Chains A and B, each alone.
Chain A
Amino acid sequence: MKKQGFVFSLEASLSLIFLVGILLVQIPAQEKDLHELAVFQKENDLLKIWAKQRNFSLEEMKKDFEFAFPDVSGEISVNMQRISAGNPRSKKSVKAIASETVFFGADLESTIISVSVFE
């Protein structure tokens, strides 16, 4: 007990650990925006326009996709026939925003069309 030096009590040690713990905690930045809704709306716009034009050529649809989403990559499918579209050198995607719809033609034949944007 007569030795000189720092002696931390249990309380002081716990306080120190608590302080270090607080300093290490990183509060994740919360981004509140409607970016995903905006992308979803654009996808739905494309689907509506394709429905109005009644032209389900994948090449034409690919051109429309690249016009609508110039900087991203994505995928279009018509009756399970898939095609990649967009900029393949866009940043690495971690999620996809997708929309799908079913069109019925004059003879009630169905066409399933989906469009996905990779982000």
Chain B
Amino acid sequence: MSTTKSLNAKGFVFSLDAGIAFTIAIGVLFLALFAMEQSTKESIISEKNFELWKNTVFLADAIVKNNSPEQSVLGSAVFDSEKQRVKSNEIDLQLLEKASEIENKEFELKKISLVFRDANRVFFERHTDKKNCLAVERIVLVQGKIARLVLEGCN
């Protein structure tokens, strides 16, 4: 008598399949949140990595295309005073020797070097605690000789 009464009473009754469906729904929600968190973390790392690529590539481009006696890291190309123009991809060694660090909170210049066929020459090097580093190369002419300009930056 009491069993019949309890079955007829209104209230929450969870069947086995409804319970499984609920558990699955919670599982899906958990996985979705976990995936979102992972995606956000990857996105932050990716953005930081892209920022490093951007700074290193653009700085290397500036060195080979500009002539900046005040800050040679921003331009060490030969300046042709007769034609009043910069000779891109031709490096002025005296200017590159003056290379010094640039101030940027999110980017640190680690090393600038020239790799010739038979020798290497380092123009700037500093120690950095930053682990995420990247080296970018450009091809230049130095006093008629072909060389690879290697610029390494970290963030």
Q: Which residues of A are in contact with B by a Cβ distance under 8 Å?
A: 6-9, 11-12, 15-16, 18-19, 22-23, 27, 29-35, 37-38, 41-42, 45-46, 48-49, 52-53, 64, 67-68
Contacts and interface: CB of A to CB of B under 8 A. Distances in A.
Given A38-B137, A45-B138, A46-B139, A18 B28 contact: yes
Contact of A41 (B138, B146, B148): B138
B39 A12 contact: no
B18 A9 contact: yes
Main secondary structure on chain B at its contact with chain A? Answer: helix
A23 to B, nearest CB: 8
A41 B57 contact: yes
12 contacts: A7-B16, A8-B20, A9-B18, A12-B24, A15-B28, A27-B35, A29-B42, A32-B47, A41-B57, A45-B64, A64-B146, A68-B139
Interface residues of B, number: 37
Nearest to B89: A48
B46 A30 contact: yes
B17 interface: yes
B74 interface: no
Most chain A CB neighbours (cut-off 10 Å) among B17, B46, B88: B17
Contacts of B42: 29-30
Interface of B: 15-18, 20-21, 24-25, 27-28, 31-32, 35, 39, 42, 46-47, 49-50, 53-54, 57, 60-61, 64, 88-90, 117, 136-141, 146, 148
